[in-house]
Amino acid sequence: MHAIAPGAVGSWITPSRELADALRAAGAGDPRPPLLPSFTALATEQEPSPVEGVLVRRVETYADFLIGLEIMLAASDFGEEGAARQRADAQETYARRRARRGGEWLAHVDGEPVAWAGAVAGPRGLLLAGGATLPAARGRGAYRALVRARWDDAVARGTPALVVHAQQTSRPILERCGFQVVCTMYELESDPR
């Protein structure tokens, strides 16, 4: 790996299994949990249905961001070390995300925040950049409501399209929301430590 890019640290994402295998043979490894080494790219230009009983608000403050972070950590298997790293980087992550085009949202059920999602705005639509629902709140429409909120944001920007890199947990929900499979993608990390 380091023969290709000496001292490189970062992620490699490709739709080519052959390139992924070559990168792995050159020293790249699987991404850190909760990410998996492969996922599905999906896209839609179809308006998702609205969801009743879920209030979605845009993340506007650092306190809101921290609520979303804790939802993400509770919903995924980051492990203790990964969760500690996410919390330690919280202020920097918040500043970086506030500086990019797009946004983050919290979904509330019965007045309580139960799900979080993010997106990055591009010239033709939004890249859905993560989403998580607390395990106890799953099956109540919070994730679908967050998809709809991001659709509404894309429409307001004049770019009514959504793309996403989905793992197995969210893929069936996204397909029910009208997303179509584009391809399988492979992710590897390079870390010279």
Cβ burial of 152 (10 Å; 0-12, 13-18, 19+) is: middle
Q: What is the pLDDT of residues 58-104, one digit of tens each?
A: 999 999 999 999 999 999 888 899 899 999 999 999 999 999 999 99
pLDDT tens digits for range 12-52? 788 888 888 888 888 888 887 777 788 899 999 999 999 99
d(C-alpha 33, C-alpha 49), whole Å = 31
Sign of torsion over alpha carbons 171, 174, 176, 178: negative
Q: Which residues pair with 67 in a beta bridge?
A: none
Q: What angle do CA 2, 5, 7 make, to 5 degrees?
A: 65
Check: CB of residue 14 under 8 Å from CB of residue 40: no
The rounded distance, in Å, linking the Cα atoms of 134 and 116 is 9
- May I ask the CATH architecture of the domain 46-160? 3-Layer(aba) Sandwich (3.40)
H-helix or E-strand containing 148?
helix 142-156
